[in-house]
Amino acid sequence: MESAIPNLITWVVPSVDAKASRAQRNSRMTSMASLPALRVSISTTSSPGAHTSTPSPAPSKVQTSSRRQHGRLGSTIDKVKDGIIEDPTLCKFDPTILLCCRNTTNMTNCLNDNQVQQLQRIFSDYRFPNGELIYPAMQPGSEINAVDKLYAGAPFAYSDDWFKYVVYNDPTWNASEYGYDDAQAAQDLNPGDIRTYPSSLPSFKQNGGKLLMYHGQQDNQITSFNTNRFYEHLRGNNTYADMDTWTRFFRISGMFHCSTGPGAWVLGQGGNAAQAGIPFDAQHNVLAAMVEWVETGVAPEFIEGTKFVNDTVKSGVDFTRRHCKYPARNTFVGGDYKRPESWECRA
């Protein structure tokens, strides 16, 4: 099933006059983020297809349990126990390890059968009965913040409104009756031709356009797996070297939805600590990297993110990390894990 371009900050910049002012350059840039067009899973804790609802596990318990296991399994895959999942595609989470034993009397640190099933749904691809993909699984690490909205056991407000006022134009539509037929209805309607999942962008490429994408690897609203999927869909039969001439994608470890998180998430994007505290240069700032790529032809090989102590600029820098150009991933090579030179980008 085709879906909207994943939620990421995307700067799309055609070639521009190097003499243009920054304001003029900015006016020619387009920031794209996904719309809730096919966010068809009204709540990831509802029954996946039938018109029934399954009681959701206690959000705080799910968060604690899954976060503990993801931290143990995902964060240490890169040989560093820092609470950051460098590459969630490597974290193979099996919720059944959290299942309470038959004779367990203290249920605080384990889950019952229903709760385990809910976690399995959250961290599995969402598909039609025939196997067709509706939406990729949420990635490990998302539970830290998603428990407040997406995994809260209630309809996700944006999706609820989308079906009520766009797909059906019926404010009485009841999200508790959501099923596969609703997913198909949204797919068939494609209101306003909103589906944005191109397999190629020939005109943009031929006109000298440059596309720089990045996505937080612990996004709590839109799975980062969909960005990998989109990039590969766009690549098709082209080589990664071919793609590098006009499109580059960076996976930002430890970043939540657009900003914040345990990782080095400050890249010059708007909001919170990101608007200050780092230089406006191609190494540390995604906008500066794009400008340099367009105006001088020097494309970014990595983006060095910054993590401030308590996400507060005045408290100083905690650490920085160079986020790799896809498909490479950050690999720890030894030393102080908070120093960028202790990591290498390896395919």
Whether residue 124 is contained in a domain is answered as no
Distance CA 345, CA 213 (A): 17
What pTM was estimated for this model as a whole?
A: 0.82
How many folded domains does the chain comprise? 1
Whether residue 132 is contained in a domain is answered as no
* Percent of the chain scoring above 90 in pLDDT: 56
Q: List, for residues 300-341, the tens digit of each pLDDT value.
A: 999 999 999 999 999 999 999 999 999 999 999 999 999 999
* Full residue range of the structural domain in which residue 293 is found: 9-36+198-346
* Percent of the chain scoring above 70 in pLDDT: 76
Q: Cα torsion at 138, 140, 143, 146 (round to 10°)? A: -30
Tell me what pLDDT residue 272 has. Answer: 56
Kindly tell me if the per-residue pLDDT of 103 is higher than 80.
Answer: no
* 47 pLDDT tier (thresholds 50, 70, 90): very low
Whether residue 267 is contained in a domain is answered as yes
Tell me what pLDDT residue 42 has. Answer: 43
Whether residue 168 is contained in a domain is answered as no
Long-range contacts of 159-167 (CB under 8 A, 24+ apart): 159/36, 159/39, 159/40, 159/41, 159/42, 160/42, 161/36, 162/36, 162/37, 162/39, 162/186, 163/42, 166/191, 167/191
Tell me what pLDDT residue 102 has. Answer: 72
Q: List, for residues 77-91, the tens digit of each pLDDT value.
A: 777 888 899 999 998
Among 47-51, 156-160, 192-196, 233-237, the minimum mean pLDDT is found in 47-51
Whether residue 285 is contained in a domain is answered as yes
Whether residue 1 is contained in a domain is answered as no
Whether residue 310 is contained in a domain is answered as yes
Q: List, for residues 190-238, the tens digit of each pLDDT value.
A: 988 888 889 999 999 999 999 999 999 999 999 999 999 999 999 999 9
* 164 pLDDT tier (thresholds 50, 70, 90): very high
Whether residue 177 is contained in a domain is answered as no
- Which has more confidence, 5 or 345? 345
